[in-house]
């Protein structure tokens, strides 16, 4: 998911890491400092259109390395979230570094997530701009509920519950969609989907060039 500027309000602005507030946190997450940049898959590739597999082994060096690589890949692509199939790995896992509408930064990863949305009677949908790292150069308004809760596990198999409001709720929904083989294009009308694909064709090379510049600045 592509990054968006947040609105600030006078609230506790401490960073939430894995859902918990911390008093200090670096601009570049530790995972991103360790990871290697991977290629981001593009809409039309088969791995993006099929449901991902459950993660069954926790606490492995391979899983930790994948999360590190996903963080730095998300950072280089100027993203707010990234699912494993966006780096070609069909596992139920995503990472995020995303602001909510209160200006609070949320950072973490979640494995095998289940998404809870408000009941239809109390649900409020908002139409807001949404982009995707796998649809480079495009962005469209997509209706999403303004609250969401993701329940899953961390890389060591510990349960995690991540609550999102506003733009972060949108991020949780966007990334969970990826894990069932959907992109935000699947939520658009036929006309808007064609518009987004036209935007991508016009802008993708500029996006790729910016990613290469940012990767080079990190020495990756």
Catalytic residues: 175
> In 10 A of CB 58, how many CB atoms?
15
- Give the residue among 19, 109, 106, 17 at the shortest CA–CA distance from 70: 109
At 219, list the tokens.
């020495």
User: N- to C-terminal Cα distance for the chain?
Assistant: 21
Buried b (16+ CB within 10 A) or exposed e, 67-103: bbbbbbbbbbbebbbbbbbbbebbbbbbbbbbbbbbe
């Amino acid at each position: 998911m592509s990054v968006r500027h947040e609105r600030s309000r006078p609230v506790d602005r401490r960073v939430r890491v894995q859902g918990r507030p911390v008093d200090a946190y670096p601009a570049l997450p530790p995972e991103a400092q360790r990871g290697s940049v991977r290629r981001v898959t593009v809409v039309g590739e088969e791995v993006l259109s099929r449901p991902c597999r459950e993660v069954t082994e926790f606490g492995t060096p391979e899983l930790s390395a994948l999360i590190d690589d996903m963080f730095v890949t998300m950072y280089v692509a100027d993203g707010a979230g990234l699912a494993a199939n966006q780096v070609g790995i069909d596992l139920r896992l995503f990472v995020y570094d995303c602001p909510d509408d209160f200006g609070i930064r949320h950072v973490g990863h979640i494995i095998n997530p289940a998404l809870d949305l408000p009941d239809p009677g109390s649900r409020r949908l908002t139409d807001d701009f949404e982009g995707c790292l796998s649809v480079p150069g495009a962005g469209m308004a997509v209706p999403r509920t303004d609250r969401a809760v993701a329940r899953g596990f961390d890389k060591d198999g510990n349960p995690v519950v991540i609550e999102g409001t506003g733009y972060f709720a949108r991020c949780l929904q966007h990334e969970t969609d990826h894990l069932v083989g959907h992109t935000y294009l699947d939520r658009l009308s036929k006309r808007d989907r064609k518009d987004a694909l036209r935007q991508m064709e016009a802008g993708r090379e500029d996006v790729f060039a910016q990613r290469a510049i940012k990767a080079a600045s990190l020495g990756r």
